[in-house]
Amino acid sequence: MSGSLSGLRVAFLVAGEGVEQVELTRPWQAVERAGGQPELVSVSSGSVRAFHHLDKADTFPVDRIVGDADVEDYAGLVLPGGVANPDALRRVPEAVRFVADFFSAQKPVAAICHAPWTLIEADVVRGRRLTSYPSLATDLRNAGAEWTDEQVVVDSGLVTSRNPDDLDVFCAKAVEEIAEGRHRSQSRSVPSTGAG
């Protein structure tokens, strides 16, 4: 795993429940091993309930509510998957805005499995090359992305992977991109209609 995150804070954005536990814990551990400080950001205070497939798993304490979180406090953003997690996040305007703000700030974002649903809602996939859990391929193409079936895809600071089997390479690339810092081409896409 290349890149040092010494002294850097990394946001992990999840909903109140439904995050796939391993897609939260493995990248979290990778950030810690690289010297970074991961912070759990969620839609409400207290704790979040993770899942293993569809079975309830552990709970994790929330560090900050998304409405109180500032993108400038973080070097990058990790979006773990799970089916329910991104589906819930994309219905929370503060969460969608938080994601979009990372792109506007040209900061790295790493999303795995179903997490690109939140990217679609933030309107940041147009013209980008990425991957995801295969069932999202049509959604991503309809949102203007170029979808590909690969373990990991890196597109100017945006790191995406398909599922937990890809976690080794996903974690390595996420740390690498966050360590590199801002990416000038990592900016929020503007719809062809000119609307923001």
| pLDDT reading at 1 higher than 50 | no
Q: pLDDT tens digit string along 116-172?
A: 999 999 999 999 999 999 999 999 999 999 999 999 999 999 999 999 999 999 999
CA 5 to chain centre: 17
pLDDT of residue 74: 98
pTM higher than 0.85:
yes
Q: What percent of the chain has pLDDT over 90?
A: 88
Q: Which amino acid is at 12?
A: F
pLDDT of residue 3: 72
Q: Do residues 12 and 38 touch, judged by C-beta distance below 8 A?
A: yes
Query: Which residue ranges make up each domain of the chain?
Result: 9-180
Ranges assigned E (strand) in the chain: 9-14, 17-20, 37-42, 47-52, 55-61, 64-65, 76-79, 109-112, 129-130, 146-147, 152-155, 158-161
DSSP code string of 5-45: -TT-EEEEEE-SEEEEHHHHHHHHHHHHHTT-EEEEEESSS
pLDDT of residue 2: 56
Residues, the chain: 196
Q: pLDDT tens digit string along 35-78?
A: 999 999 999 999 999 999 888 999 999 999 999 999 999 999 99
The closest of 67, 62, 104 to 188, measured between CA atoms, is: 104
Query: For residue 71, what are its two tokens?
Result: 């993108």
| pLDDT reading at 196 higher than 90 | no
Any idea which residue has 């991109």 for tokens? 177
Q: pLDDT tens digit string along 12-24?
A: 999 999 999 999 9
The HSE-up count of residue 192 (CA atoms within 13 Å, CB side) is: 4
pLDDT of residue 148: 98
Q: Which residues are catalytic?
A: 113-114
pLDDT of residue 187: 66
Q: How far apart are CA 150 and CA 168, in angstroms?
A: 13
Helices and strands of the chain, counted as H and E runs: 6, 12
Class of the CATH domain delimited by 9-180? alpha beta
